Structure 1
Amino acid sequence: MVESRIAPRYRVNKRATINHGGDKYPCTVRDISSTGAALELSDSAALLRNVKAFTLLIPEDRLKLSCRVVWQRDYRMGVTFV
């Protein structure tokens, strides 16, 4: 398999929050790069199945990132940073 990502990804286990329209949903960042991330969604965040964009808050790193959804399967989601 040929790796086609622009930036290397790093495995992490960081608590984060998806902010969409003022509603907040907990999630976990499973891997991250300078261009995107893979998220594991909580039960409540799984309601975001049709959402295409949101803000990701990672308090540990003091990050507030605008995201666009690239893929979603079950309780996992891949995003690119806008």
Structure 2
Amino acid sequence: MGKNQHVVPHNGKWAVRGEGNERVTKITLTQKEAIEIAEEIARHQKSNTKIHGKDGKIRAGNCYSHTEPHKN
């Protein structure tokens, strides 16, 4: 499982940051764009997203760490 991806406010813009990383992965103009990027990374790494509001508090997120059960 990869690192959870956080969408955080960043100098008047929005950023995607891997959990525990000091540097951001990507800076975007909108939160929506940052969420799309974070979700793509999280799906690929089988991790989760944590969406922060302008106040920095987590307000939402998605889990991509579980796989679909096999159907017979």
When normalised by structure 2's length, the TM-score is: 0.32
RCO higher in structure (CA 8 A, sep ≥6)? 2
In our comparison, the structure showing a higher alpha carbon Rg is 2
Per residue, is there more strand in 1 or in 2? 1
Flag the structure with higher helix content: 2
TM-score, length-scaled by structure 1: 0.30
